[in-house]
Amino acid sequence: MSDEISASHILVMHKESQRSSATRTKDEALELINELKEKIAGGADFAEVAEANSDCPSSSNGGSLGSFGRGQMVKPFEEAAFALDVDETSDIVETDFGYHLISRQA
């Protein structure tokens, strides 16, 4: 198993998220991340969806987080990212920062 992977993500925050300036409710955030998941499943480009919708500063880079190793991300995010195959997109992952979709590059 690899010690380091490359991944991108889409983050949808809500007003209860850590370090959030979002005003949407948790339910609204979940609804939005589900809509984005459906768009990607329907063939939309992950990076374009991230750029247009992600609440993370990485959105300006198509959601790219670059390479990271174990222990660098919060546990639920890390577990989901490392479980993905290359070019696979995760199901919705909830962390203290909000809801994520993760796409593994390498």
Q: Is the pLDDT of residue 2 over 70?
A: no
How confident is the model at residue 88, as a pLDDT? 96
Spatial contact of 53 and 32, defined as CB atoms under 8 Å apart: yes
pTM: 0.95
Mean per-residue pLDDT over the chain, rounded: 96
**Contact indicator for 61, 7 with CB cutoff of 8 Å:** no
Q: Which of 40, 44, 42, 53 is nearest to 10 (CA)?
A: 53
Please check whether residue 51 is in contact with residue 60, taking contact to mean a CB–CB distance below 8 angstroms: yes
Name all domains of the chain by residue range, CATH numbers in brackets: 4-104 (3.10.50.40)
Query: Does residue 81 surpass a pLDDT of 90?
Result: yes
SS3 state of residue 84: coil
| pLDDT tens per residue, range 8-43 | 999 999 999 998 889 999 999 999 999 999 999 999
Residue range 90-99, pLDDT digits in tens: 999 999 999 9
